[in-house]
Chain A
Amino acid sequence: MKQKNNNVLPVMMAPRNRQTDPFRLKAWHGVVLASIVVLASIPAFAAEEPTRASMFEVLVRWMPLLLQGFVFNVVISISAMAVGTITGAALGLGQISLNGWVRKFAWITTQFFRNAPWLVLLFFAMFLLPFEIKIGSLIIPLPDWLKAIFGLSLPVMANVSEIVRGGVISLPSGQWEAAESLAFSRTQVLWRIILPQCVKRMLPPWMNLYSILTMATVLASIVGVSEMMTLTGQALAAEGGRTDLLIPFYSFVLLMFFIYCYPIARWTIRLEKKFAVIN
């Protein structure tokens, strides 16, 4: 058999350094890209009908309102995340409870809300919750945005529950055994030994979930909450439904979400890498 000596297989070559990859996206890349889309469309259309205000002018005029809407999206996402995290953590601990009934209840609840479309849950929250709660003479109004927070917190809760359960069972059983041998009570084992170690592991999927939730807050526009998507639609309507405004306006919406979510995604990856090194 003839051997070709000059035939160098890829595996035989020295590995290239991946760190200097020039094509890795940075946060500002996204900003630049989206800005180009917005700006590029301006002269093309503006030249067409000089009598009407240029797209850029229109966009700038509406920007404060749209940004207000975006702040609302952020508020909804943070609130739903907070509610979902607290209830989800409780549910996740329920899934590893020693009590069989608690475990079953937590498991079924988790599975139910984890496998339901977010939009459907949102609709349920919107139409099943009353618009106000009466406790004696006290009347607590339940505005739509509050219901939206509640509706979005349900799938967050179920996902956090799974993150917590997964984090706890991913620890080697030796940690439990060592702590139990030292006469720690179950509660102490969980809170002093197991959970502190899990938090690190749970952080990246939790942040990931937050990104997904933030992007899902635009679903609230379908049920009429005046967040950024809703306001964008209203602004466009107020401008008389000019089709040339669609692309810049929705690009602006995309841009805002990108600027907010991309750094979170990068940070998540950084944490994942860091913990992969430690463990």
Chain B
Amino acid sequence: MAWSEDQPMVSIKDLHKSFGALEVLKGISMDVMKGEVVCIIGPSGSGKSTLIRCVNALNDIQQGSILVEGQEVNDHNLDKLELRKKVGMVFQQYNLFPHKTALENIMMAPLLVLKQDKAEVEKLARQLIKKVRLEGKEESYPGELSGGQQQRVAIARSLAMNPDVMLFDEVTAALDPETVNEVLLAIKELAQDGMTCMLVTHEMAFAREIADHIYFTDRGVIVEHGPPDTFFDDAKDPRTVEFLGQIL
């Protein structure tokens, strides 16, 4: 069954995930269409990170289904590497490779995983550095960059694999307030270019601005979801209302 672009890029159905006896996700379903930007918000420990880490198989799944471009992730024979070529991920702690320069960080995966030509990859990497506004930092090591700069390198590093979906897990949560915006801007431009994005974020104004759809999770279930305006102005569920009341 071939996947076509009018089907969801990521389709999650009745997803259950446990760590030992602790059930963290208790039946999550959502569809993300190509080019769509989805934000997942919710209190700490509600399972947001776990949810998006299931999409690129960093976490395994006990029950339910995740289809990425029609490919079932909950499958023992899944080729994780093929899946991860399509799904990029950016982390809260940047996780750049400290022994490599910014440019090398970006070039590594296309060179080693996709076996692309070195000159081509370098050209692409320099374009991406420019795209995230870090010209001049090509030869800097992660330790020499600010948090915001590192995070933008991390975004460029993921983009170098030319993924179809990008996952962002609270990518501004560890940043100084002054540098949050430069990272959000990079994500926003990415979204405007038509990248399919799933973001876990605490930046409500940002979510409202760029999201096509917002999901609110609490204790492993989706409590409420909808387009940003409806979600923020007309929240129905008392848990959502309380959460928004605390955070806004």
Query: Interface residues, chain A, CB within 8 Å of chain B?
Result: 172, 174-175, 177-185, 188, 192-193, 196-197, 278
Contacts and interface: CB of A to CB of B under 8 A. Distances in A.
B185 interface: no
A193 B81 contact: no
Which 4 pairs between the two chains have the least Cβ-Cβ distance? A178-B95, A174-B95, A182-B109, A183-B84
Interface string B75-96: 0000011101101110101011
21 contacts: A174-B95, A178-B89, A178-B97, A179-B97, A180-B58, A180-B84, A181-B56, A182-B113, A182-B157, A182-B161, A183-B80, A183-B82, A183-B84, A183-B85, A183-B113, A183-B161, A184-B113, A192-B108, A196-B99, A197-B99, A278-B143
B227 interface: no
Contacts of A184: 109, 112-113
Nearest to B154: A178
Nearest to A279: B98
Nearest to B97: A193
Nearest to A200: B99
B27 to A, nearest CB: 25
Given A183-B85, A183-B161, A184-B113, 13 more contacts: A175-B97, A177-B58, A178-B89, A178-B95, A178-B96, A180-B58, A181-B88, A182-B88, A182-B113, A182-B157, A182-B158, A188-B113, A197-B97
A256 B112 CA distance: 48
B109 A183 contact: yes
Contacts of B113: 182-184, 188
Nearest to B92: A174
Scoring A178, A179, A188 by chain B CB atoms within 10 A of each residue's CB, the highest score goes to A178
Interface in B41-98: 56, 58, 80-82, 84-85, 87-89, 91, 93, 95-98
Contacts of B58: 177, 180-181
Interface of B: 56, 58, 80-82, 84-85, 87-89, 91, 93, 95-99, 108-109, 112-113, 143, 154, 157-158, 161
A188 B114 CA distance: 13
Contact of B89 (A175, A181, A193, A197): A181
B81 A185 contact: yes
Given A178-B95, A178-B97, A193-B97, A188 B112 contact: yes
Contacts of B93: 172, 174
A174 B96 CA distance: 9
A177 B108 contact: no
Nearest to A184: B113
A87 to B, nearest CB: 26
A174 B91 contact: yes
A80 to B, nearest CB: 30
A278 B99 CA distance: 11
A47 B206 CA distance: 93
A177 B95 contact: yes
A118 B139 CA distance: 47
B85 to A, nearest CB: 5
A278 B143 CA distance: 8
